[in-house]
């Protein structure tokens, strides 16, 4: 387990330590949660465009981390390696849509979901062949000297995670509320027929959504790799956690994906810290099942994917 | 000839909805299509817009075969549909709905179109920042018409524009149809309100279970005994 997930060292029992500990868990939780949020956004974008739950979303996360690791290994600076890895993942996303989803157009949503599950298994197997089954470390972007914050510490890489996530959320908000193509995507998700009738190429919208989701997933994978390590199967857990976050926030809701991700990350780290780390992974599934059972449209979902 | 349809067939699964439709619409004409519920009127318009698979026949627009053209290509050519049930983008603002109507047009054309639509339906201008879903039924119909006009139609396909509206609003919608005709827009109009549709139309077709069973001028069909009995409730 990565060190950031464990409770900060042995401490006294003073109130100060209690609050410092809380702060530590909170910062760690938000960092993990931001990653879940990015993955959840990927789920929501594809869901909105097609009502498909893309279970290969986690593999985009893996591709981002692994390709960056390989490229950086050849001596390429991050400034080049990271954009190339994001582009590589986006191309895989576009190829997935073009060669696996598009040919099955007209098939039921369940069929499409099974196709994405198949694609995820295929991509994972391919990654195992291209790379190996080992864990790989990625150097932090800007050193690993912890920064003190309100009695707790935060890694520079966590600041990268939070900062980049914030920038992406702002950029997506701008894209969907200010650009004609962004609005066309919203229109397509709300009413596909009407979108076709105004001349929106809805197949293009779906194609683009896969590329965008893959890029978001890859960015998540690259940001988190220096903290948690990466491997050919890192996408399984991150994909499922991102899915749980999307369900919690309401599948299809952009704000829901972000809040759901952050909430899940914090809940996970808090329960690991205060209860037992044995519960860390279980908490996501408990939350997901509880939401599906008691509140199927999540915190912000309106059913039918009204807003990205 | 602006639109020529020859032997057009379409199915839902195995069930035929259109069984060899022949019709045409000339430039500048207002042609109405009347028929009972389930006759296939909406299916025909959907096929003309390219959002409904066609199993037989051909469609030509301004001489070019468009039978297999994708929907956005048809909009680009000027075939624009205002669909049954308004189908506005509920969560998006009124203005965004209109702007999306001009999705394939230039910024300048969109700006001009917006002025034109706001002049035609001032209430839309008043409510331009509100979500389309918050409008009344009549206002949503105006929005749907406005959105269609934003695409600069050469041939406007109107599917039940007066359905479910109060009489005063029906009159307003038909006034708008007449104004568009006077403005030399070619219109293919489907309406439940057969009397009003036939009265405003140059020519009309009567559709029954996927077949054209009668054709003639609007005035002729208004006087036709069969039509009177079946569609005018006389
Ligand atoms: N999505 C669909 N799936 C299966 N059958 C359909 C579908 N839509 C329409 N139909 C059938 O096709 C036939 C023609 O329907 P269509 O909607 O074109 O009729 P319409 O003339 O527009 O009727 P209305 O006046 O009710 O709008 C009907 O028998 C209808 O039941
Ligand atoms: Mg109909």
**pLDDT tens digits for B206-221?**
999 999 999 999 888 8
Q: Strand ranges (DSSP E) for chain A?
A: 147-149, 152-154
Question: CA B2 to CA A303: how far, in whole Å?
Answer: 42
Helix (H, G, I), strand (E, B) or coil at B150: helix
CB burial of residue A3 (10 Å; 0-12, 13-18, 19+): exposed
* Residue A75 CA, ligand 1 centroid: distance in Å: 63
Give the pLDDT mean for A81-87: 97
Give the pLDDT mean for A283-298: 87
* Nearest by Cα to A57 from A107, A114, A116: A116
Please provide the CATH number assigned to the domain covering A29-140+148-294: 1.10.3470
- Kindly state the tokens that stand for B132: 């389309």
Does residue B37's CB lie within 6 angstroms of at least one atom of ligand 1? yes
Tell me the helix, strand and coil percentages in chain B, rounded to 5: 40, 25, 30
In chain A, which residues have their Cβ closer than 8 Å to the Cβ of B51?
193, 196-197
Sequence spans of domains, chain A: 29-140+148-294
Check residues A149 and B88 and name the one with the higher pLDDT. Answer: B88
pLDDT, chain B, mean: 94
Does residue B43's CB lie within 6 angstroms of at least one atom of ligand 1? yes
Interchain pair A197, B51: CB under 8 A: yes
Question: CA B45 to CA B18: how far, in whole Å?
Answer: 11
* Residue B64 CA, ligand 1 centroid: distance in Å: 28
Task: Quote the minimal CA–CA distance from A306 to chain B in Å.
Answer: 7
Do residues B8 and B57 make contact, with C-beta atoms less than 8 angstroms apart? yes
Q: Is the dihedral of CA A242, A244, A250, A256 positive or negative?
A: negative
Q: How confident is the model at residue A197 (pLDDT cuts 50, 70, 90)?
A: very high
The separation between CA B218 and the C-alpha centre of its own chain, rounded to angstroms, equals 17
With a cut of 80, say whether residue A272 has pLDDT above it.
yes
Task: Select from A183, A191, A199 the Cβ nearest to the Cβ of B96.
Answer: A183
Which ipTM value was assigned to this complex?
0.94
- Kindly state the tokens that stand for B7: 């032997």
With a cut of 60, say whether residue A159 has pLDDT above it.
yes
């Amino acid at each position: 387990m990565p060190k950031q997930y464990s409770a900060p060292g042995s401490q006294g029992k003073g109130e100060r330590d209690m609050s410092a500990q809380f702060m530590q868990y909170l910062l760690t939780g938000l960092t993990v949660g931001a990653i879940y949020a990015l993955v959840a956004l990927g789920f929501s974008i594809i869901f909105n465009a097609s009502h498909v739950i893309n279970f290969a979303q986690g593999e985009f996360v893996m591709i981002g981390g692994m390709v960056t690791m390989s490229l950086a290994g050849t001596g390429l600076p991050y400034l080049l390696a990271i954009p190339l890895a994001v582009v590589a993942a986006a191309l895989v996303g576009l190829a997935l849509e073009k060669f696996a989803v598009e040919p099955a157009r007209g098939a039921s949503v369940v069929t499409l979901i099974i196709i994405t599950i198949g694609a995820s298994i295929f991509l994972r197997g391919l990654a195992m062949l291209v790379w190996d089954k080992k864990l790989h470390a990625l150097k932090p972007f800007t050193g690993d000297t912890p920064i003190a914050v309100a009695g707790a510490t935060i890694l520079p890489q966590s600041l990268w995670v939070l900062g980049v996530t914030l920038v992406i959320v702002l950029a997506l908000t701008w894209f969907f509320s200010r650009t004609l193509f962004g609005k066309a995507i919203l229109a397509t998700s709300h009413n596909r027929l009407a979108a076709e009738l105004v001349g929106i190429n809805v197949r293009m919208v779906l194609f683009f959504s896969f590329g965008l989701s893959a890029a978001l997933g890859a960015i998540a994978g690259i940001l988190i790799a220096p903290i948690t390590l990466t491997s050919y199967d890192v996408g399984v857990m991150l994909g499922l956690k991102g899915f749980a976050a999307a369900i919690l926030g309401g599948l299809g809701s952009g704000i829901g994906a972000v809040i759901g991700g952050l909430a899940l990350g914090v809940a996970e780290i808090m329960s690991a810290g205060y209860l037992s780390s044995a519960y860390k992974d279980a908490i996501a599934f408990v939350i997901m099942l509880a939401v599906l059972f008691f509140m199927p449209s999540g915190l912000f979902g309106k059913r039918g994917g009204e807003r990205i | 000839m602006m639109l020529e349809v020859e032997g057009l067939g379409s199915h839902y699964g195995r069930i035929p909805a259109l069984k060899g439709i022949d019709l045409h619409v000339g430039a500048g004409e207002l042609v109405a299509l009347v028929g009972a519920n389930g006759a296939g009127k909406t299916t025909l318009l959907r096929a003309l817009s390219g959002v409904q698979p066609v199993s037989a026949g051909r469609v030509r627009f301004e001489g070019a075969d468009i039978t297999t053209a994708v929907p956005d290509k048809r909009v680009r050519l000027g075939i624009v549909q205002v669909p049954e049930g308004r189908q506005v983008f509920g969560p998006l603002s009124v203005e965004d709905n209109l702007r999306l109507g001009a999705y394939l047009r230039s910024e300048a054309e969109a700006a001009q179109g917006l002025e034109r639509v706001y002049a035609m339906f001032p209430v839309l201008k008043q409510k331009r920042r509100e979500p389309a879903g918050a409008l009344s039924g009549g206002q949503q119909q105006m929005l749907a018409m406005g959105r269609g006009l934003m695409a600069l139609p050469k041939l406007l396909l109107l599917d039940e524009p007066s359905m479910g509206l109060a009489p005063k609003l029906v009159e307003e919608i038909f006034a708008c149809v007449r104004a568009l005709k006077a403005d030399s827009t070619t219109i293919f109009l489907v309406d439940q309100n057969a009397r009003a549709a036939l009265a405003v139309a140059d020519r009309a077709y009567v559709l029954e279970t996927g077949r054209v069973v009668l054709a003639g001028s609007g005035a002729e069909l208004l006087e036709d005994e069969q039509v009177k009995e079946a569609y005018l409730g006389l």
